Amino acid sequence: MVMAIAALLVSFTLSATEPTAKTEKDMKSIIVYFTHSGNTELAAKKLAEVTGSPIVRLLPSEPYTAADVDWVNEQSRCTQEHLNQTLRPAIKPLDVDFSQYDTVFIGFPIWWHEEPAVIRTFLDNTDLKWKELYPFCTSYESPMSEADATLQKGYPDLKWHTGLRLPASVDQIKEWISR
């Protein structure tokens, strides 16, 4: 009897803390992205073609202007958000029930070798615990590895996978997801 109660308690504890295992057929994914110039939107659409996932665009409440993303200007918005990592620009509400998704692809342009502050706003305000997170970026020169490091450091309790810089071929995207 004691063993049965102990097994029941373990089962209840596990189900209360972590979602039950789902088959691959039951798993659902979504693509959430922020874009300024449109490059990340193109990358998100390419990823959607490969995965069949719906896409959702993150929109800052106050859109970024060309002056806001002038990284050589020390007073520009993106530079200030980089220098003061506590800054969180407001974003418009998303009409998404993230409990319906197991995997979230998170896309962004690289600013200052890391994710923009808009992404941190999203991560701070969205319950992504127990989700498989795949970051992807667009950049002419910066590698994804530095953003991978800042995301893992800033959000160590989330399940991060190594990110991918796009554009990439369909085969590269499939290989990235399968790892």
Domain boundaries along the sequence of the chain:
23-178
List, in sequence order, every residue forming a beta bridge with 166; answer none if it has no partner.
Answer: 138
Q: Is the pLDDT of residue 76 over 60?
A: yes
- Residue 25 pLDDT greater than 60, yes or no: no
pLDDT tens-digit series, residues 78-104: 888 887 878 899 999 999 999 999 999
pLDDT bucket at 69, cuts 50 / 70 / 90 = confident
Q: Helices 144-154 and 117-125, interaxial angle, to 10°?
A: 40
Does position 144 have pLDDT exceeding 70, yes or no?
yes
CATH architecture, range 23-178 = 3-Layer(aba) Sandwich (3.40)
pLDDT of 7 reads 37
User: What is the rounded CA–CA span in Å between residue 155 and residue 135?
Assistant: 13
Three state DSSP letters for the chain: CHHHHHHHHHHHHHHHHCCCCCCCCCCCEEEEECCCCCHHHHHHHHHHHHHCCCEEECCECCCCCCHHHCCCCCCCHHHHHHHCCCCCCCECCCCCCHHHCCEEEEEEECECCECCHHHHHHHHHCCCCCCEEEEEEECCCCCHHHHHHHHHHHCCCCEECCCEEECCCHHHHHHHHHC
Residue with tokens 């796009």, as numbered in its chain: 166
Report whether pLDDT(121) > 50: yes
pLDDT digits (tens, 9 = 90+) for 59-68: 999 998 888 8
pLDDT score at 27: 66
Residue 178 and residue 166: Cα distance in Å, rounded?
16
- Type of residue at 38: G
